[in-house]
Amino acid sequence: MEKREDKRSNKKKKYGFFSNIVYSYKLLFNTKRSFIFLIPLFIIFSILVTLISTYIPSLIVYFIENNFNIYTMLLLILSLALIFIVIKVTTDYLNEILSMGYLLTRATIPFLELSRKALSMDYELYESSKVKDALAKAEYGVSSNLRGLEGLYRKLPLLIIAILGFLIFGISTIFISYYVLIIVLVVFIINFILIIFVSKKHTKIEDDISKVNNKIRYFSNASENEVMAKDIRNYSLSSKFISLLSTYHKELRKHLIRLNFLWFIPSFELTLGALIRDLIAYAFLIYQAINNLISISEFVALFSSITAFNSYLDQISLYLDENILCSLEVKYFREFFDINNIFNHGSNKNKKCIDINTIKKPFEIDIKNISFKYEGSDKYIFKDFSLKINSGEKIALVGINGAGKTTLAKLLTGLYYPSEGEILVNGVNIKYLNIDEYYSRVSIINQDIYPLAFTIKDNIICSYPYDETRFNKVIEEAGIKERINSLKDKENTFITQNFSRDGINLSGGELQKMFLARALYKTSYFLILDEPTSALDPIAEGELYSKYNELVKDKTSIFISHRLSSTRFCDEIYFLENGKIIEKGSHEELMKQEGEYFKMFNLQAKYYKENLKEDEDK
């Protein structure tokens, strides 16, 4: 028996600090080529600003000490001031240009790529809690101008400036005392080791945060969902939602406090080390000045150098911490794109892929010994299940809730992939078909239907070209043409008021008719109707059944319903229970067997007659 390869278990690629920097800046430079020159220019000018501001005071003291001519001194000082102003203004201007470029880069391409990846993932992956957690973590990489990609764009140049400043002003430190340099190196090494340790712990806490954020996102989205809004109010769920949101926010706060405390450790070590370093450096400098070992101008120059050196050293630790954190968030972003789809999407040239157009229509579906269970569950919905649907055949799947009918529909439409066994389409394993091409040839009306906030026309034609004749034909077949033509803007009327104040809300039955029109508009050879008449009145339901044979002409079709009376027009009926077929045959054959189908049919007929009698008595 063929077993499924679990592609989600693939070993993760190693994305290190430098690898993430290269990835991030490659993306930036592909978008903003001028930044290849502007960023180094910004770094050089930033260093010059610090150099000039650091040594101007000592230069002034030097001029006074050596009795420089007042006019010469003023001319030199004004010249330096003018140079400083030009460099400072240029630096600030470059910073503004770069900041805007960082923002636009992060807020466009990565966001679009993240959405494209999420939309192109197999449905089974999209449902996975692991993938949802991975998506939540990937969003860290593009969610803020101080995190992830943009965080690296902003903070890596600052780290480079700090390192260059450290090297330039470090010469003064060596001149003062080797002891200071030794302390600096010891503090830095300890801090670096602590950062590596903290980064590993940080990853674990981020996992916990992403799980809580998923829960918060669900309840936040549900609070704004128009469909859920009715039940939330009718069943007084507001207080429950607020209570749960409050609980999850408290949980999130605890994780954030843990995270902040974690990063406090290297920060405290750095502060303590810096205090000892500064005390020794300044004490040694004051000692030299008191004992006339250095002049006043040298004292001012060295004092300013030590101050700049210490500042840059602190910045190295600060920006190194922040760059490592941003790199982690870029790593999450990159890892999300490494999640492989389960189905064949035709993008891998090394994999066998059969053109859907070479397969005979309508489809013959052969389910061979499949087994399936949901992620995180030990219970199989199907175990060694087999079923063959002939080309053009109309079958019905019936049974109580939980029998596996809808899950089977999702397996047949390529939303789920069996854990074991195979699904053949005209003898071709579904794994060898380009699943996107397969989707284009399969229509389904799902049990739960949610219209898009687009026009009625766009809801029906979706991404397919508009054909007016075909459009009018399907809305008439689905029984919604009269309703559409009664509207002021007809098929151009928006569903809901999200994008138009003149938008409307269709009833449950009208939505089912619109979704039936959508399924019919698409050129498909395999049609699955999962409870397509649950919201229709008996008259509309009867009209649909009367033309069902015409609707499914040249199609293989599956009808899933709880109403057994609606399955009489099918060629074959399969009664499912606990993922197994316990009865099969035509309606007449199953009634003669007097099994589970017979019992359920008579039970439903009894209730229908009783309800009809009650209506007549009223």
Query: Do the beta carbons of residue 555 and residue 525 sit within 8 Å?
Result: yes
Q: What is the DSSP string of 554-579?
A: TSEEEEE-S-GGGGTTSSEEEEEETT
Residues 6+ apart with CB under 8 A from 452: 458, 459, 495
pLDDT digits (tens, 9 = 90+) for 517-538: 998 898 889 999 887 776 666 6
- Number of domains comprising the chain: 3
Q: Smallest Cα–Cα separation from 22: which of 219, 135, 126, 156?
A: 156
Does residue 9 lie in a domain region?
Answer: no
- CATH code for position 507: 3.40.50.300
Is 401 among the domain residues?
yes
- Judge whether 4 lies within some domain: no
Instruction: Report if residue 294 sits inside a domain.
Output: yes
pLDDT of residue 208: 81
Tell me the pLDDT tens digit for each residue of 149-160.
Answer: 999 999 999 999
Residues 454 and 423 in one domain: no
552 within domain boundaries: no
pLDDT at 331: 92
| Secondary element (H or E) of residue 513 | helix 508-521
Q: How far is CA 426 from CA 3, 219, 395, 430, in A?
A: 20, 44, 17, 10
Following DSSP, what letter does each residue of 3-18 receive, concatenated? B---GGGSPPP---HH
DSSP 272-328: HHHHHHHHHHHHHHHHHHHTTSS-HHHHHHHHHHHHHHHHHHHHHHHHHHHHHHHHH
Using alpha carbons, select from 173, 202, 187, 177 the residue that is nearest to residue 264. Answer: 202
* Residue 281 pLDDT grade (very low, low, confident, very high; cuts 50, 70, 90): low
Q: What pLDDT, on a 0 to 100 scale, did the predictor assign at position 8? A: 47
pLDDT at 9: 44
Mean pLDDT of 481-506: 89
Distance of CA 322 to the CA centre of its chain: 23
Give residue 252's pLDDT band: very low, low, confident or very high (50, 70, 90). confident
Query: Which pLDDT score, from 0 to 100, does residue 349 have?
Result: 63
pLDDT more than 70, % of the chain: 85
Mean pLDDT lowest for which of 113-122, 466-475, 511-520, 540-549?
A: 540-549
Judge if 425 and 514 occupy the same domain. no
- List the one residue out of 112, 116, 107, 113 whose CA is nearest residue 149: 107
Q: What is the rounded average pLDDT of the residues 485-500?
A: 88
Buried b (16+ CB within 10 A) or exposed e, 104-143: ebbeebbeeebeeeeeebbebbeebeebbbbbbbbbbbbb
Give tens-digit pLDDT for 207-251. 788 778 878 877 777 776 666 765 566 556 677 778 888 888 888
Identify whether 347 is part of a domain.
Answer: no
Give the residue among 439, 335, 395, 430 at the shortest CA–CA distance from 560. Answer: 395
Whether residues 199 and 73 fall in one domain: yes
Whether residue 98 is found in the same domain as residue 171: yes
Q: How far apart are CA 159 and CA 244, in angstroms?
A: 41
Does residue 605 belong to any structural domain of this protein? Answer: yes
Fill in the DSSP letter of residue 490: G
Residue 362, domain extent: 352-441+527-535+559-618
Percent of all residues in the chain with a pLDDT value above 90, rounded to a whole number:
27
CA 79, CA 76: separation in Å to the nearest integer?
A: 5
Classify residue 239 as exposed, middle or buried by CB count within 10 Å of its CB (0-12, 13-18, 19+). exposed
Q: Which is higher by pLDDT, 74 or 97?
A: 97
Q: Look at residues 296, 313, 337 and tell me which one is the last residue of a structural domain.
A: 337
Tell me, yes or no, whether 285 and 390 share the same domain: no
User: Which token pair is 471?
Assistant: 């459009």
Q: What is the pTM for the complete model shown?
A: 0.74
Residues 260, 401 within the same domain:
no
Q: For the chain, what is the mean pLDDT?
A: 82
User: CA 385 to CA 7: how far, in whole Å?
Assistant: 23
Of the two residues 601 and 310, the one the predictor is more confident about is: 601
pLDDT band at 613 (very low <50, low <70, confident <90, very high): very low
Whether 212 and 95 share a structural domain: yes
Is the pLDDT assigned to residue 198 strictly greater than 80? no
CA angle 501, 507, 512 (to 5 degrees): 115
Least confident piece of the model among 123-127, 273-277, 303-307, 569-573: 273-277
Higher-confidence residue of 305 and 416: namely 416
By residue count, the chain amounts to: 618
Same domain, residue pair 177 and 321: yes
pLDDT for res 224: 67
Q: d(Cα 65, Cα 55) in Å, to the nearest integer?
A: 15
First to last CA, the chain: 60
Among residues 273, 303, 337, the one where a domain terminates is: 337
Checking DSSP bridges between strand 428-429 and strand 442-445, what pairing results, if any? unpaired
Same domain? 211 vs 266: yes
Task: Encode pLDDT of 30-83 as tens digits.
Answer: 988 999 999 999 999 999 998 888 888 888 887 777 877 788 888 888 888 899
User: Quick one: tokens of 226?
Assistant: 């128009």
Round to whole Å and give the CA distance between 73 and 485. Answer: 88
Q: Is the pLDDT of residue 316 over 80?
A: yes
- Helix, strand and coil percent figures for the chain, each rounded to 5: 65, 10, 25
